[in-house]
Chain A
Amino acid sequence: DAMVIQNPRYQVTQFGKPVTLSCSQTLNHNVMYWYQQKSSQAPKLLFHYYDKDFNNEADTPDNFQSRRPNTSFCFLDIRSPGLGDAAMYLCATSRDFSSGILGSGANVLTFGAGSRLTVL
């Protein structure tokens, strides 16, 4: 089945030790997103890629970076994790939503199962 796969599902790191979370998709979707969801909170968008174009949210800390080497893969890098970065990180994808095809469900996001990050 086509899907969004995140690895690892659980990641434990030490304060300040860099972490990379990965996301792969078999849906061939143009857009990939990274959301951060802290305990008992709503998911918050960090950034997204529209094809190779990177779009950062204004309030996303510089500590968070992303790479998308090809259509199928996207990585979230946390350069120096702090205790406040402990969260579930959700990857999502959606189809191209250029004008005219929104009616086809183009902006429906398909989410992965998430990577839960613990910072010690």
Chain B
Amino acid sequence: AQKVTQAQTEISVVEKEDVTLDCVYETRDTTYYLFWYKQPPSGELVFLIRRNSFDEQNEISGRYSWNFQKSTSSFNFTITASQVVDSAVYFCALSGNAGGTSYGKLTFGQGTILTVHP
């Protein structure tokens, strides 16, 4: 069975602070994909990043960066110099390689509510 754990239920920071959202996953699949989605108050889940299990390179996109460590089954997300517009719920998710349509079946973590205060 697959499982995604986001231990931080809520995080509150002041604008311009850096913040890291933790994600730990469990899977028996040899090939799998990890995702981060952002859910602003409007409700729509917005795709941020996808990583496959063979690619452990860290990635940076503007103020966002992701640290994937297979040895600790973690896929953490850091926002540098946070802004009020970053306030949202952030979900880490996992999909496996059970074959066929399983790749699209995301297992989500419980989400981390990030509030950035001015």
Contacts and interface: CB of A to CB of B under 8 A. Distances in A.
Interface of A: 31, 33, 40-45, 48, 50, 55, 88, 90, 92, 94, 97, 102-103, 105-114, 116
Interface-centre pick from A41, A42, A50, A103 (highest chain B CB count, 10 A): A42
Interface in B31-85: 33, 35, 37, 42-47, 50, 52
A97 B103 contact: yes
Interface in B76-110: 91, 95, 100-101, 103-106, 108-110
Contacts of A111: 37, 44-47
B43 A108 contact: no
Contacts of B33: 102, 107
B42 to A, nearest CB: 6
A105 B50 contact: yes
Contact of B43 (A31, A42, A88): A88
Contacts, number: 63
Contact of B47 (A102, A109, A114, A116): A109
Interface residues of B, number: 23
Interface string B6-50: 000000000000000000000000000101010000111111001
A56 B6 CA distance: 27
28 contacts: A31-B101, A33-B104, A41-B111, A42-B108, A42-B111, A43-B91, A45-B105, A45-B106, A48-B101, A48-B104, A50-B100, A50-B101, A55-B101, A88-B43, A90-B45, A92-B45, A94-B104, A106-B103, A107-B33, A107-B95, A108-B35, A108-B47, A109-B47, A111-B37, A111-B44, A113-B42, A113-B43, A114-B43
Given A42-B91, A42-B109, A42-B111, A107 B104 contact: yes
A29 to B, nearest CB: 10
Contact of B104 (A43, A90, A97, A114): A97
A15 to B, nearest CB: 24
